[in-house]
């Protein structure tokens, strides 16, 4: 069975920036309830270079992050490795992590990014109502996607 990682990142202390982490936590609970021990989750405030090592251990990785893009609620897309010479630990992108994984381990998993639309970024813990709705939609969609991958 394919090993799947759902990795949410962002700052839950900055209101809707916590969307990615909250999605990972919902997937974690759902996977445990379903008894899917091939699904792992991880969360962090930001991506780091050591995540390239973690990628190496999975077949499918789904990153989840809050988004300020002009999208309705969420967007799910495949992402590819990139080389970014202006590397800073303050802004490690998923594409950069994949690129590093590819160069270090000569392989990469299938990698997707779930963008979830956020609206406010104040020093607060609770999501806005609209972001909460987007989180639920993204969760339902990702749950279905993972179920399909697993043939259920």
Partner 1 sequence: MGQKITIEPVTRVEGHGKVTIHIDNKGNVNQTRLHIVEFRGFERFVQGRPYWEAPVLVQRLCGICPVSHHLAAAKALDVIVGAGTGEGLTPTGEKMRRLMHYGQMFQSHSLHFFHLASPDLLFGIDSDPLTRNVIGVALANKDLAVQGVMMRKFGQEIIEATAGKKIHGTGAIPGGINKHLSQKDKERFLNGDAPMNVDHMINWAQEALEFFKDYHNKNKAVIDQFVEFPSSHLSLIRKDGALDLYHGVLRAVDKDGKIILHDIDYQDYYKYIDEEVRSWSYMKFPYLKEFGKNEGWYTVGPLARMNTAEFIDTPLAQEEFKLFKSYNGDKPCHRPMHAHWARLIEILHSAEKIKELLNDNDLLEGELVAKGKKKSEGVGLIEAPRGTLFHHYKVNENDQIDMCNLIVSTTNNNEPMNLAVNQVATREMTGKTEISEGMMNAVEVAIRAYDPCLSCATHALGQMPLEISLFDHNNNLIDKKRSI
Binders of partner 1: how many residues, by CB under 8 A?
23
Query: Should residue 122 be labelled a site residue for partner 1 when binding is judged by CB under 8 A?
Result: no
Residue 71: strand, helix, or coil:
coil
Name which of 53, 55, 75 is nearest 145 in CA terms.
75
Q: 59 or 103, CB closer to partner 1?
A: 103
C-beta of residue 55 within 8 angstroms of C-beta of residue 97: yes
Q: Where are the beta strands (DSSP E) in 10-148?
A: 39-44, 60-67, 74-78, 110-117
Query: Should residue 78 be labelled a site residue for partner 1 when binding is judged by CB under 8 A?
Result: no
Task: Choose, by CB under 8 A, the member of 11, 93, 141, 145 that binds partner 1.
Answer: 11
Name which of 7, 105, 23 is nearest 63 in CA terms.
7
Task: Choose, by CB under 8 A, the member of 46, 57, 132, 147 that binds partner 1.
Answer: 46
Q: 85 or 151, CB closer to partner 1?
A: 85
Query: Should residue 87 be labelled a site residue for partner 1 when binding is judged by CB under 8 A?
Result: yes
Q: How far is the CB of 111 from partner 1 (least distance, A)?
A: 16
Task: Choose, by CB under 8 A, the member of 57, 84, 132, 147 that binds partner 1.
Answer: 84
DSSP 16-54: GGGHHHHHHHHHHHHHHHHT-TTEEEEEESS--TTHHHH
Residue 110 tokens, joined: 């299938």
Task: Choose, by CB under 8 A, the member of 36, 45, 76, 121 that binds partner 1.
Answer: 45
Ranges of H-type helices in 92-128: 94-105
| Interface positions with partner 1 (CB under 8 A) | 11, 13, 44-46, 48-50, 52-53, 83-90, 99-100, 103-104, 123
């Amino acid at each position: 069975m394919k090993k799947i990682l759902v990795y949410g990142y962002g700052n839950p202390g900055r209101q809707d920036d916590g969307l990615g982490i909250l999605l990972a936590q919902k997937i974690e609970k759902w996977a445990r309830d379903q008894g899917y021990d091939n699904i792992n989750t991880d969360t962090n405030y930001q991506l780091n270079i050591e995540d390239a090592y973690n990628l190496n251990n999975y077949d499918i990785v789904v990153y989840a992050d809050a988004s300020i893009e002009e999208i309705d609620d969420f967007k799910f897309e495949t992402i590819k490795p990139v080389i970014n010479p202006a590397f800073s630990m303050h802004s490690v992108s998923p594409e950069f992590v994949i690129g590093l994984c590819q160069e270090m381990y000569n392989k990469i998993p299938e990698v997707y990014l779930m963008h979830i639309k956020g609206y406010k970024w104040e020093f607060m813990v609770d999501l806005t109502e609209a972001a909460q709705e987007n989180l639920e939609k993204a969760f339902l969609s990702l749950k279905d996607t993972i179920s399909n991958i697993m043939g259920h």
